Amino acid sequence: MSHENFYEQDYLGWLEQQKQVLTSGNWEKLDIAHLFEGLAGMSRSEHRQLQNRLIVLLLHRLKWQFQPNLQNNSWRLTILEQRAQMEDLLEDSPSRKDTFSQKVSTAYQRALIKAEL
């Protein structure tokens, strides 16, 4: 099966194959084009995950602040969970802390929109 087909049809199998190629040192067998594409996709996914968790956190904080009569344990637990998950993400990739403050502004605007719905 060609690199193109394997990458498209069985991404996890392709990743495992590329890991084995790297481990064995058979550099000529690396699927460089898809390797770059896969890494870029993983990076985008990690950034989106952090952004989405931040939006959920801010949304629930806004609800907590502006709807005190509706406060419940579910909101409190969501706030705690999102904080913990974001701390884990930032701990796993400290370089994200450099752009975190930029994400807060965008996430806050999106949370405001969702809170209005």
Residue-level pLDDT at 80: 97
DSSP symbol at 94: G
Residue-level pLDDT at 2: 64
Spell out the residues 6+ positions from residue 46 whose beta carbon is closer than 8 angstroms to its own.
Answer: 89, 93, 96
- Give the pair of three-digit tokens for residue 37: 């594409």
Q: Which residue stretches of the chain have pLDDT < 50?
A: none
Residue-level pLDDT at 40: 85
11-24 and 32-66 helices cross at what angle (nearest 10)? 120
Residue-level pLDDT at 101: 83
Q: Is the pTM of this model over 0.85?
A: no
- HSE-up of residue 8 (Cα within 13 Å, Cβ side): 5
Residue-level pLDDT at 86: 93
Residue-level pLDDT at 3: 62
* CA–CA dist 80, 78 (Å, integer): 5
